[in-house]
Amino acid sequence: MTEHRVCRVEELVDHEVRAFRAGRRELVHCLFDGRVCVLSAECTHEALPLAGGAIDNGVVTCPWHGARYDVRTGAVRALPAVRPLRSFPARVDESGIVFVDSEA
């Protein structure tokens, strides 16, 4: 396991997708219904950034072409994407620090 400290949980805004780096990986994270969700940073449709995408009912929409993914699992929910995003484990420690395992 390769955990990286990425932020404090109070820095996250519910339903907002933000980019960050964990080790060598570019990822996005969001707070959805009290859970920290972490996904690959680029849409699988055309490798454009997901940061700034909207989250509605647990689905993140790519701001470029409208591909949609489950924010918890990365599963595709709407075209034009056909491949899922990779999902990464995250945990919040007792002091509110968010850690991500970028090698999982």
Homologous superfamily of the 3-93 domain (CATH): Rieske [2Fe-2S] iron-sulphur domain (2.102.10.10)
What confidence score (pLDDT) does residue 43 get? 96
pLDDT digit of tens for each residue in the chain (104 aa)? 789 999 999 999 888 899 999 988 999 999 998 899 999 999 999 999 999 888 999 999 999 999 999 999 999 999 999 999 999 999 999 999 999 998 86
Cα 77 vs. chain centroid, distance in angstroms?
15
Domain ranges of the chain: 3-93
pTM above 0.75?
yes
Tallying the residues shown for the chain, one arrives at 104
Instruction: Give the separation between CA 59 and CA 8, rounded to whole angstroms.
Output: 23
